[in-house]
Structure 1
Amino acid sequence: MKLLLTSVGISNKSIHSALVALLGKPIDQASALFIPTAIYGIAGGAQIIQKVICGILGDPFCQLGWKSLGVLELTALPSIKQELWLPMLQETDALLVGGGDCQYLCYWLHQCGLADLLPMLLQKLVYVGLSAGSMIMTSYGTTYGNHTVPADSDKSLNLLNFAIHPHLDHEWFPNNSLANIQKLAATLPMPSYAIDDQTAIMVIDGAVEVISEGNWKLFAPEV
């Protein structure tokens, strides 16, 4: 299992180098699929998706010079035979999972069956998360509530026994101060990583490494 869990994408040379190392080859020799689904759970989602794909919002993610790039919309998959979309996932090098609403993303991962397939797929492909796309792999997720999925739907896939709190001290997210995240972390039963937009968490078969040219903090759960 190879995961690169970012706050805003491939924001600096260190995170870029980590991605290349995980892929085992240059990005221009690798294929990728982008999952935009979580972005629909926030206001203006359609426009944000277009900007992320075109590389005009945030840090590089889709526009990294991939050999090929496709879009995989989870809400469409339940109406399509699995034999049409599963081979794409089996053949791709990287799965790029965008940010937005954790609960909405998790709901559709389960609805389309991809949540059950991920452990098998992650034996080969590299998972690259952005914000909510990173958070859902951990034991903690959040929601904007701009959807009609069942209220008791999962907010994370709980594949990793820690939490990620992205966008530390970002001007767009005034509540994401270190002090506020520390208070939140104190209420959670697992370790918490507060990471800014110049930081990512790399996980290789359970081994965790922080890749950073910015600021981050690990909070241990209070006993």
Structure 2
Amino acid sequence: MKFLLTSSGISNPSISDALVDLLGKPVAESTALFVPTGVYPFPGGSASAWQAIHGRDSIPLTQLGWKSLGVLELTALPTIREENWVPAVREADALLVWGGDVLYLTHWLRRSGLADLLPSLSDTVYVGVSAGSIAVTPYNCDAEFDLRFVPDGSDMAQGADRALGLVDFTLYPHLDHPDMEDAALSNIEKWASGIPVPTYAIDDNTAIKVVDGGVDVISEGDWKLINP
């Protein structure tokens, strides 16, 4: 699988060019499925999902002019016959995985069966936004925050600090965002000091491109690689 892991979507021409390069054709000739699931645990999550699906959110992703765009709702997949959703995933040029709660998103990526399917999608471009990007790394940098949204009595909190591990580095988005204290570089470096793999701290104008294990940083902003 090919990855374009962003902090805030296709936010500048460099990241847009990287997306087209991964797709191998223009966005207008490409099909995509959008995964809104990660945003549901937050207050107003359903409204945020609707805005994102309809391209009303400020983060550029669904509104890029795709040839076709569908919704892949992870919480529904366990109740649907696989032959009725797996072919659509295999045929899509891109999976657009929205942000939100990493723990919740990772839980449903696993439970839905999509996590098991992803490694076989060699030609598909996985485009992550924030939590959607963190979810494919080995470690969840948002675990402490995500635990606030776990329902009472749920076992979802088990292994909250681990994600899918489909890439061999971890990622901390929104570097130095003025509205996110925990995204200050000093805080990110403190967290990364306890992680046994490299950590990319990226701002909202940066993305990580991964093809066949090779990693490239695409940036018109700021980023830092923090080695273990």
Indicate whether the TM-score tops 0.5. Answer: yes
Deviations 1:142-173 (A, max 9, x none): 34231334221454101112110000111221
- The aligned counterpart of 2:150 is 147
Tell whether 2:76 aligns with 1:69. Answer: no
Aligned counterparts of 1:202 and 1:70: Cα–Cα separation in 2: 23
Choose the corresponding residue for 2:170, options 163, 166, 190: 163
Aligned counterparts of 2:188 and 2:36: Cα–Cα separation in 1: 26
Q: Which runs of 4+ in 1 moved over 6 A?
A: none
How many Å apart are 1:54 and its aligned residue?
2.5
| Aligned residues: CA RMSD | 1.2
- The aligned counterpart of 1:203 is 210
How many Å apart are 1:66 and its aligned residue?
0.1
Tell whether 2:200 aligns with 1:186. Answer: no
Of the structure 1 ranges 22-31 and 37-46, higher mean CA displacement relative to structure 2 is found in 37-46
Deviations 1:98-152 (A, max 9, x none): 111111111111111111111112x121100000100111111134231334221
Give the alignment of 1:1-223 within 5 angstroms. Answer: 1-121=1-121, 123-141=122-140, 142-143=142-143, 144-145=146-147, 146-148=149-151, 149-150=154-155, 151-153=157-159, 155-221=162-228
Deviations 1:70-119 (A, max 9, x none): 00100001111011001100111000001111111111111111111111
Q: What amino acid is aligned across from residue 31 of structure 1 in structure 2?
A: T
In structure 2, list runs of 5 or more residues that go unmatched.
none
Q: Secondary structure at the match of 1:134?
A: helix
Q: What amino acid is aligned across from residue 176 of structure 2 in structure 1?
A: D
Aligned counterparts of 1:166 and 1:42: Cα–Cα separation in 2: 18
Q: What amino acid is aligned across from residue 3 of structure 1 in structure 2?
A: F
In structure 1, list runs of 5 or more residues that go unmatched.
none
Give me the identity figure in percent: 54
Deviations 1:166-192 (A, max 9, x none): 001112212211111111111111111
Task: Report the number of matched residues.
Answer: 220
TM-score normalised according to structure 2 size: 0.93
* Residues 27 and 64, structure 1, Cα contact 8 Å, conserved in 2: yes
* Residues 107 and 153, structure 1, Cα contact 8 Å, conserved in 2: no
Deviations 1:45-64 (A, max 9, x none): 11111222222323210110
Aligned counterparts of 1:26 and 1:98: Cα–Cα separation in 2: 21
